[in-house]
């Protein structure tokens, strides 16, 4: 795995690190030459896993992601997902694992599941921030043909008074009841107010 920061000038010749298959890309991308700089360091067609966490997605990144023709696993933020054109993401025929993260102060920024299911009809492993069980149900029904595992991350209240503890118990009971009612053959686990599902 390689982590690239403050990319310098493009290196002439073959990529310096031709065996790299996983990338973590940080920093802001303001220079269009960033793509060429990355391509001079690693062979982009070999990249199968990308982690890119940014608050303000850039056109440069949307152009760059077209170069990752064998991308299988992608981690990005809700902001980047919102900005991406569905056609761009449908381009990734190999993509089977998607992790969508939120920054702490963007806690209530959730994924709109209807366009999401259109963008990723063949996703197998999913970690997604979501705000209600109806959205969970919709997503499972639309993606059940390929879906193997999913983590639904719900909003949490950070206050620790007794009333909040009672609310947490009620929410957990609701999640358990919903999970047990699923028609698909599955196993589930609750952890910190989120639900993990594995389909068989």
pLDDT in single tens digits along all 200 residues of the chain: 544 444 445 555 678 888 999 999 887 777 888 888 888 899 999 999 999 887 776 778 878 888 888 999 999 888 778 777 655 666 667 889 999 988 765 556 788 898 888 888 889 999 999 989 999 999 999 999 999 999 999 987 665 555 555 566 778 899 999 999 998 899 999 998 899 999 98
Return the pLDDT at 108.
Answer: 67
Return the pLDDT at 159.
Answer: 57
> Does residue 180 lie in a domain region?
yes
Same domain membership, residue 187 and residue 120 = yes
| 60 to 28, 37, 63, 137, 159: CA distances (angstroms) | 10, 12, 5, 35, 40
Return the pLDDT at 179.
Answer: 92
Same domain membership, residue 186 and residue 101 = yes
Same domain membership, residue 119 and residue 35 = no
Q: Which residues contact 177 (CB under 8 A, 6 or more apart)?
A: none
Return the pLDDT at 13.
Answer: 64
Model pTM score? 0.82
Same domain membership, residue 17 and residue 99 = no
> Does residue 101 lie in a domain region?
yes
- Residue where one domain finishes, among candidates 71, 104, 122: 71
> Does residue 82 lie in a domain region?
no
Return the pLDDT at 25.
Answer: 87
Report residue 75 as tokens: 């981690």
| 42 to 16, 29, 35, 88, 192: CA distances (angstroms) | 6, 17, 11, 22, 38
Same domain membership, residue 126 and residue 164 = yes
In DSSP terms, which residues pair with 17 in a beta bridge? 42
> Does residue 28 lie in a domain region?
yes
Same domain membership, residue 50 and residue 99 = no
Same domain membership, residue 143 and residue 58 = no
Return the pLDDT at 9.
Answer: 52
Same domain membership, residue 185 and residue 101 = yes
> Does residue 88 lie in a domain region?
no
> Does residue 131 lie in a domain region?
yes
Same domain membership, residue 185 and residue 121 = yes
Find the domain containing 162 and state its range: 95-200
Same domain membership, residue 102 and residue 67 = no
> Does residue 44 lie in a domain region?
yes
- Residue where one domain finishes, among candidates 24, 56, 71: 71
Number of domains making up the chain: 2
Return the pLDDT at 6.
Answer: 47
Return the pLDDT at 32.
Answer: 81
Same domain membership, residue 198 and residue 103 = yes
Same domain membership, residue 110 and residue 67 = no
173 — alpha (psi -120 to 50), left (phi > 0) or beta?
alpha
> Does residue 89 lie in a domain region?
no
């Amino acid at each position: 795995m390689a982590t690239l920061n403050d990319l310098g000038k493009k290196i002439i010749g073959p990529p310096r690190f031709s065996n790299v298959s996983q990338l973590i890309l940080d920093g802001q991308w303001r220079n269009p030459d960033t793509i060429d700089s990355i391509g001079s360091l690693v062979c982009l067609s070999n990249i199968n896993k990308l982690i890119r966490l940014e608050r303000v997605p850039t056109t440069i990144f949307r152009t760059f992601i077209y170069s990752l023709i064998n991308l299988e696993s992608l981690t990005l933020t809700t902001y980047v997902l919102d900005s991406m054109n569905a056609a761009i993401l449908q381009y990734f025929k190999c993509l089977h694992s998607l992790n969508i993260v939120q920054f702490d102060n963007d806690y209530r920024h959730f994924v709109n599941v209807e366009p999401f299911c259109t963008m990723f009809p063949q996703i197998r492993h999913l970690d997604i921030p979501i705000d209600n069980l109806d959205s969970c149900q919709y997503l499972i029904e639309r993606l059940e043909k390929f879906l193997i595992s999913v983590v639904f991350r719900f909003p949490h209240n950070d206050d620790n008074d007794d009333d909040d503890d009672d609310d947490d118990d009620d929410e957990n009971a609701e999640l358990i009841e919903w999970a047990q009612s699923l028609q698909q053959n599955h196993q589930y686990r609750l952890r910190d107010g989120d639900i993990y599902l594995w389909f068989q």
